[in-house]
Amino acid sequence: MMQTVTTIAGRLDATGLKIAVVATRFNDFIVDRLVGGALDCLERHGINAPDITLVRVPGAFELPLLCQKLAAQKRYDGILALGAVIRGGTPHFDYICAEATKGIAQAMLASGTPVGFGLLTCDTIEQAIERAGSKAGNKGVEAAAAMLETIRVLEQL
């Protein structure tokens, strides 16, 4: 018979945490839905609203720098990066997505601070709308929940 395994898992509990949310102004009609979902998620899981700091950046390309800076301050238990890159007719779509993704991951790994990845990378505006609070859920909520879970797992290691 199989022995009981030791499982370490994170609770979705935001009580007492300090969180920085970094959100782009580019595509703000989409990104504001991600921000709204993320804030609602954090509040429903017990955060004290004044313990959330919202930082606005121009676009996805700027997300890594701000995530890095905020993580290095060590004032926050977690950081949430929110934005939307929409291919449309943007020829540099792939470059922006690659740099933003790589840079956000690097900010997390270099600092050890969990960073929730809530950057939509979509071919069309319709796809972005679907992921910003309609058919395909809300990526801001998912990223906030993932960040919370990661913070709580790390605490136990």
DSSP string, 43-67: HHTT--GGGEEEEEESSGGGHHHHH
By beta-carbon proximity to ligand INI, the closer residue of 14 and 63 is 63
Residues facing 120 on adjacent strands:
84
By beta-carbon proximity to ligand INI, the closer residue of 19 and 63 is 63
Instruction: For residue 121, give the H/E element and its range.
Output: strand 115-122
CA distances to 8, 84, 126 from 135, rounded to whole Å, are 32, 17, 10
Nearest distance in Å: CB 42, ligand INI: 22
Binding segment (CB under 6 A) for ligand INI, from list 12-20, 34-42, 59-67, 106-114: 59-67
CB atoms within 10 A of CB 31: 25
What's CA 72's distance to the chain center, in Å? 17
4 is in an annotated binding site: no
Q: Is residue 60 involved in binding ligand INI (CB under 6 A)?
A: yes
Q: Which of 27, 68, 111, 113 binds ligand INI (CB under 6 A)?
A: 27
Report the binding-site residues for (2S)-2-hydroxy-3-oxobutyl phosphate.
Answer: 89-90, 131
Residues identified as active-site: 92
Binding site for ligand INI (CB under 6 A): 24, 26-27, 58-62, 83-86, 90, 96
